[in-house]
Amino acid sequence: MTKETSREPAAPAWIIPPETAVAAAERFVAEQVARAGVDGVVVGLSGGVDSAVAAALAVRGLGPQRVRAVFLPHRTSHPGSLADARAVAGMLGVATELVEITSLVDAWSGLQPDADHLRRGNVMARARMLLLYDLSQRDGRLVLGTGNRSEWLLGYTTLHGDSACAFNPLGGLYKTEVRLLAAHLGLPEGVRSKPPSADLWHGQTDEDELGFTYAAADRLLHHLVDERLGERQLAALGFAPELVDRVRARLRAMAFKRLPAPVLSFPGRRDPDGTAP
């Protein structure tokens, strides 16, 4: 399959307009924080576009004084990631904190020296979220989610790692829409144009692992999930069967990440809101 580049795509017809998304996200962030009765949010700022947009939306909804950006590098992280994260934080005017995860992850590595890079990447993602939740408890704030709809549908996320949060203003937006939001919000060009990466090991990128670009996947996911189009309709729109099969397979295989953990229920046992557990 010929791979596309990660440049910002032209806006497709189905996107949510950036102005609409920003206005809705501002209200959502403010409402969630007010409902919880807390001081604000903490957000892990990675140097990537998703966390940058999430932080910018939080600043618009709460003001910079109520947003704390946390840098969580490992010794193997690309140095440019921390530089980009600092640039975003400086532009937004938020307080920052640097918490290295190296000693935490390396202590685990000593216990599991034969772990492959996928296990190691999952531990790094969970270590970052462990620290964010600890800081949220310390500061009386909520952990802000930064994952997008593309990652959620494709299961490109770590359970109890980057998928964990108190609430998420980006969860209903495809990666394509997040990139357009980044441009609309005037975030640094270096953050907007870099290849998407969780920066969990050297040279790792989302699109290389997935085997297709977000630009291609987002358009397909919109027609496949939002519009419920069938195979013939997708073929008529020009989607390659290989891409459709691969995306469908991920949707099925990663469904468990999109659902709450199954709980064995018993008659007469209900949650406070009146629904069965």
For 38, counting Cβ atoms within 10 Å of its Cβ (0-12 exposed, 13-18 middle, 19+ buried), the class is middle
Find out whether 91 and 187 touch, Cβ atoms under 8 Å: yes
Q: Is 97 a catalytic residue?
A: no
Block means of pLDDT (10 residues each) for the chain, 277 residues, are 45 89 98 97 96 98 98 93 96 98 96 94 96 98 97 95 97 96 95 79 76 91 96 95 95 94 88 65
**What integer pLDDT is reported at residue 9 of this predicted model?**
47
**What integer pLDDT is reported at residue 84 of this predicted model?**
96
How far is CA 203 from each of CA 125, 179, 197, 206, 207, rounded to the nearest angstrom? 17, 21, 9, 10, 12
CA neighbor of 125 nearest in space, from 97, 101, 98: 101
Alpha-carbon gap, residue 135 to 137, rounded angstroms: 5
**What integer pLDDT is reported at residue 1 of this predicted model?**
38
At the fourth CATH level, which superfamily is domain 18-206?
HUPs (3.40.50.620)
Alpha-carbon gap, residue 92 to 63, rounded angstroms: 9
Q: Which of 8, 19, 39, 50 is catalytic?
A: 50
Burial 155-175 (b: 16+ CB within 10 A, else e): bbbbeebbbbbbbbbbbebbb
Q: Which of 84, 151, 177, 206 is catalytic?
A: 151
**What integer pLDDT is reported at residue 274 of this predicted model?**
60
Token output for 54 = 């999430």
**What integer pLDDT is reported at residue 3 of this predicted model?**
41
Q: Is 50 a catalytic residue?
A: yes
**What integer pLDDT is reported at residue 12 of this predicted model?**
77
